[in-house]
Amino acid sequence: MDQLTAHDPRRIGPFEVLGRLGAGGMGLVYLARSAAGRRVAIKTVRAELAEDQLFRVRFAREIAAARTVSGFYTAAVVDADADAAVPWLATAYIPAPSLEDLVTECGPLPVATVRWLIAGIAEALQSIHAANLVHRDLKPSNVLVTEDGPRVIDFGIAAGVSHTRLTMTNVAVGTPAYMSPEQARDSRGVQGASDVFSLGSLMVFAATGHPPYHGANPVETVFMLLREAPDLSGLPEELAPLVRACMRTAPERRPVPAEIAAELAPHLYGSGDGTQDDAGEWLPPVALDLIEKKKGRRTPPPPSFQQPVAPPESSAHGAGYPGHAGPMSPGAPAGGGVRPGYPVSEAAHGGSGGSGGSPGGGPGAGAGAAGMPGGAAGMPGGAAGMGAAAGGQLPVQPATHRGGQHAGPPAHESASATRTPPEAATTARPVVHLPGMAAPIGPGVRLPANPPSEPVTPPTTGWVQRGAHAAPSGPVSTGSPGSPAGPASAGPAVPPSVPGSPGSSGSPGSSGSSGSSGSSGPVASAVPAPAQSPASGPSGPGTAPAESQAAPEAPWRPWRFRMSHDVWGAPIISDGVLYVASFGVHALDIASGRRRFRTESVAWALAVADGRVHAADGPNLFTLQAADGVERWRVALDGWTYTLDAAGGALVAGTRGGGVHVHSAIDGSEMWHTNDAQQAYENPASGPCVIGDSVYYYGGGCLRSLELTTGQLQWAFPLGEEVPSRPVLWRGMLLLCSGTRVYAVDEQTGAERWRFDAPVVLFTSPAVSEQGVFVADYLGTVFALDPANGAVRWHARTGGRQGADPAVLAEDLVLVGSGDTVFAFDTRTGTERWRYAARAELAGIPAAAGSLVHLGSRDHSLHTLDLANGRLRWKLDTGGEITGSPVTADGRVFACSKDHCVYALDAARGTATGRE
């Protein structure tokens, strides 16, 4: 960063300017900070561009489009002003070297590192293209590299696909060495495939150290791009097929980013037990050193302020939720969440920042964090043997560097086996090297920028005041492999950080808890837990059994589990376990949030039935025991599996290209298969399914019913060209929507009972109850039909719905989402009972249970309403968009978010744990 000159501004908008970061294509780039201390990178516009009104229009539109981009591998737009005298755009500041700097200083990267980086960039492109954007300048200097993945930056010249009229004819926008041929000819009409070509060029640079096209000047480079093959000299053979696919001349023949990520995933996440942090393991040490240097690490604070740092995949209990105080609560941050009168407990199960002692402190310090593998309370590189007798000197293990982590002694080593070197015995203390003094260290806790020079004496066991809330502290069970368990001292009272700010555990990418995933236990508020011995279980070596770690009388607490990678779809609950797909299948205990197991194989489709977990990694089916995750069988299919359904001891898979495969759920043996299913809409909503003893699928213009075990055709009902929704069985009738019609078909014979013709197309399955058959068309009209004959009982309008989510029945109400609003109609009369408007479009369908309704919205929020009147009960702002739909069980609600987290909350009170 360069010092400011006399001509540089000292403030831009609400931000204080700290220094110059450099110059971009549009103008200067500054480092600045907000009033709350959040650092941002502000890109300003050159004077000649600011005077161009056409540019201002384009700039304003691109800002609006860039705000819609979300994703772990992109830098978020924080603020902007296109109407200022000098227009500017502020994005989240990421202190990391660019890919260009990394390769220039460290040389070509290993194949594994290149795959890891390209997979992250491909995921970023998915987010960018989903926002109807094309980056247009994807190059090494626009990719920042951190320990946990790349970050794609600089949307300054990205233009919305629908706004290409603002791009001048025959002006190539981008960098010649990395742009696509079609972009070099005419940048107006480029699509997302152009970014894929640039991604292939990035791959060449990362693996070889040179771009695929490098002329003496930009004009010569463009000439080479249009007329010559790329220079792939030095490219490892393992990467050549993917590079050539991305750099095909015809844009339509290039793979899409999702296909690139899918191809790379098995190389990245096919090994390991999933209990360790993936961050940093892909980068060579020289690259990690450069990243550390770029961050400008400060000197670590005194040991009394050292706190255990949670790995990315961890379970945070009771704290760390961004926006955890509700908008109705006194002093609550805007957009926050829980109902007033129910304070959020910030004591984490297993020792959450400040609740579990003084790790690395002086004599008498107890174990600070439960379940951390190795080192100080399990902190890699810390002191072993936490929980030593009062007054004893804690032995210290010098930190060693491995893959970006500071690794402590092996789990099997005893506490007495690690000692401080004699020459450092009088001065050295356990030091945890934190990524900057303001980095998050636990739910709601942040290290002070200027810690006091003297250690803070930990308070006695009791209540620790944290801001406006009080959380109990006390003995916890360490459960640390390689160290004995013992009573913990209460940690120092540290004020929580502001939710959403850097260092807040609730911010995207934060770890959220000081406990290794799969091994953190609930707080025992009064009685220390018994010592645990290392055990080997489904969650990995050294994980103690869940029942031996948890105090039976401990109350359930909300928790959050953070994955290393994206979570997709809605979770599945079965027998007290929550199953989530995040590359592999993750099985989480809903009572404690501990992970029972994780599969090594990628899971693109998932089904759970009869004590078995079925999944598909694309061409392969495999089944696990639900109890421990042990694989029972695996078979290969002749197509890519896009949907799974399990029932009646059978597993039905739909594969691309019209395949329907039925296998035994017990041993995987094939029962039968066919290849005549529809191929127009190959998605779970329109794929083959099991209902009762029959398999139903659409093919050849007919809905077909086949016997489950033999595949014998029972009947075929003609529907025409419209692909139907999944059928719903109701009292001997199959109800389904197809095009603009609702059909009732006899389950046994396939004869038509009745049909209803709607004015607008219907995409989803009907909802049916004693009160009627309920369907909602594409434009938002809700119809209530008589189940006996299909006559219309009533209809109501919701407005411009333009969606395909089904209606939801809850007691005497039918709920329908329309844009950013959910409507509730009386099932008998069709009278609107209430409506609730969120701040953004709804994500998924509402989940109703008891007297509550839970729904997600695309502004990263989870809302809970009273079913009776639609009033907001509580709201949680997460670090990413809610994926799929929330699910409920046992008075709890579970949701997945694009911030890589799974949230488990009290259905009535959200993150609160108190009881009236």
Cα angle 405, 407, 412 (rounded to 5 degrees) comes to 145
Range from 132-141, 367-376, 412-421, 895-904 that averages highest in pLDDT? 895-904
Quickly state the pLDDT bin for 188 (edges 50, 70, 90).
low
The region that residue 258 occupies, defined by phi over 0 for left and psi between -120 and 50 for alpha, beta otherwise, is alpha
Q: Are 137 and 184 in contact (CB under 8 A)?
A: no
Q: Calculate mean pLDDT across residues 857-881.
A: 92
The enclosing domain of 15 has a CATH number of 1.10.510.10
d(CA 878, CA 901): 9
DSSP characters over 842-864: EEEEEEEETTEEEEEETTTEEEE
Looking at residue 802, its pLDDT comes to 56
The enclosing domain of 824 has a CATH number of 2.130.10.10
Q: Are 521 and 592 in contact (CB under 8 A)?
A: yes
Closest CA to 470 of 482, 459, 455: 459
Q: Calculate mean pLDDT across residues 349-368.
A: 34
Q: Is the pLDDT of residue 742 over 90?
A: yes
Least confident of 317-331, 460-474, 810-824: 460-474
Residue bearing tokens 């700039």: 59
d(CA 911, CA 904): 8
**Strands (DSSP E) found in 575-685:** 577-582, 584-589, 595-598, 605-609, 612-616, 620-625, 631-636, 641-647, 650-655, 659-664, 670-674
Q: Which domain holds residue 716?
A: 595-906
> Of 201, 223, 248, which residue is a domain's last?
248
> Is residue 139 situated within a structural domain?
yes
Q: Calculate mean pLDDT across residues 842-863.
A: 92
d(CA 131, CA 558): 33
Quickly state the pLDDT bin for 688 (edges 50, 70, 90).
very high
Q: Are 348 and 443 in contact (CB under 8 A)?
A: yes
d(CA 213, CA 177): 5
Looking at residue 313, its pLDDT comes to 53
> Is residue 149 situated within a structural domain?
yes
Higher pLDDT, 799 or 892: 892
Q: Calculate mean pLDDT across residues 652-661.
A: 95
Q: Is the pLDDT of residue 44 over 80?
A: yes
> Residues near 219 by Cβ (< 8 Å), separated by ≥ 6?
none
Cα angle 131, 132, 137 (rounded to 5 degrees) comes to 95
The region that residue 500 occupies, defined by phi over 0 for left and psi between -120 and 50 for alpha, beta otherwise, is left
Least confident of 223-227, 242-246, 357-361: 357-361
Exposed / middle / buried, residue 620 (Cβ in 10 Å: 0-12, 13-18, 19+):
middle
d(CA 348, CA 315): 9
CA distances from 213 to 59, 186, 196, 198 (A): 30, 18, 16, 11
What are φ and ψ of residue 115, in 5° steps?
-60, -45
Q: How far is CA 98 from the centre of its chain?
A: 24
> Is residue 283 situated within a structural domain?
no
Q: Are 903 and 321 in contact (CB under 8 A)?
A: yes
Range from 109-113, 223-227, 435-439, 879-883 that averages highest in pLDDT? 109-113
Closest CA to 420 of 376, 453, 456: 376
Higher pLDDT, 296 or 336: 296
> Is residue 510 situated within a structural domain?
no
Q: DSSP class of residue 298? A: P
Looking at residue 25, its pLDDT comes to 60
Q: Is 81 a catalytic residue?
A: no
> What count of other Cβ atoms lies within 10 Å of the Cβ of residue 67?
15
What are φ and ψ of residue 294, in 5° steps?
-65, -35
Q: Are 39 and 31 in contact (CB under 8 A)?
A: yes
Looking at residue 638, its pLDDT comes to 87
Looking at residue 400, its pLDDT comes to 36
Looking at residue 601, its pLDDT comes to 85
Q: Is the pLDDT of residue 580 over 60?
A: yes
Q: DSSP class of residue 724? A: P
Task: Give tens-digit pLDDT for 55-76.
Answer: 777 778 777 777 778 777 888 7
Instruction: Tell me the pairing of strands 733-738 and 728-730.
Output: antiparallel
Higher pLDDT, 499 or 699: 699
Q: Calculate mean pLDDT across residues 861-879.
A: 94
Q: DSSP class of residue 364? A: T
Q: Could you tell me the pTM of the whole model?
A: 0.49
Looking at residue 24, its pLDDT comes to 63
Q: Is the pLDDT of residue 171 over 50?
A: no
Cα angle 783, 789, 795 (rounded to 5 degrees) comes to 15
Burial 435-454 (b: 16+ CB within 10 A, else e): bebbebbbbbbbbeeebeee
Q: Which residues is 652 bridged to in the sheet?
A: 645, 662
Q: Which two tokens stand for residue 442?
A: 């636990």
Looking at residue 137, its pLDDT comes to 85
Q: Calculate mean pLDDT across residues 866-876.
A: 95
Quickly state the pLDDT bin for 36 (edges 50, 70, 90).
confident
Looking at residue 427, its pLDDT comes to 35
> Of 217, 248, 279, which residue is a domain's last?
248
Looking at residue 298, its pLDDT comes to 40
Least confident of 106-120, 453-467, 783-797, 833-847: 453-467
Q: What is the identity of the amino acid at 786?
A: D
Q: Is the pLDDT of residue 887 over 90?
A: yes
Q: Edge-to-edge, what's the strand order for the sheet holding 781-785?
A: 767-769, 772-776, 781-785, 792-797
> Is residue 461 situated within a structural domain?
no
d(CA 596, CA 198): 41
For the chain, percent of residues with pLDDT exceeding 90:
38
Q: Are 340 and 330 in contact (CB under 8 A)?
A: yes
* Kind plus residue range of the DSSP H or E element containing 292: helix 285-295
Q: Is the pLDDT of residue 699 over 70?
A: yes
How many domains in the chain? 2
Looking at residue 381, its pLDDT comes to 36
Q: Is the pLDDT of residue 140 over 60?
A: yes
Q: DSSP class of residue 125? A: H
Q: Is the pLDDT of residue 374 over 70?
A: no
Looking at residue 553, its pLDDT comes to 53
Higher pLDDT, 843 or 320: 843
> Is residue 720 situated within a structural domain?
yes
> Of 205, 220, 248, which residue is a domain's last?
248
* Nearest-10 Cα torsion for 768, 773, 774, 776: 120
d(CA 552, CA 796): 50
Choice among 2, 101, 137, 273 that is catalytic = 137
DSSP characters over 674-737: ES-S--SS-STTTS-EEETTEEEEEETTEEEEEETTT--EEEEEE-TTSPPPPPEEETTEEEEE
> Is residue 571 situated within a structural domain?
no
Task: Give tens-digit pLDDT for 493-518.
Answer: 333 333 333 333 333 333 333 333 33
Q: Are 371 and 349 in contact (CB under 8 A)?
A: no
Rg, C-alpha atoms of the chain: 29
Closest CA to 876 of 114, 116, 332, 146: 332
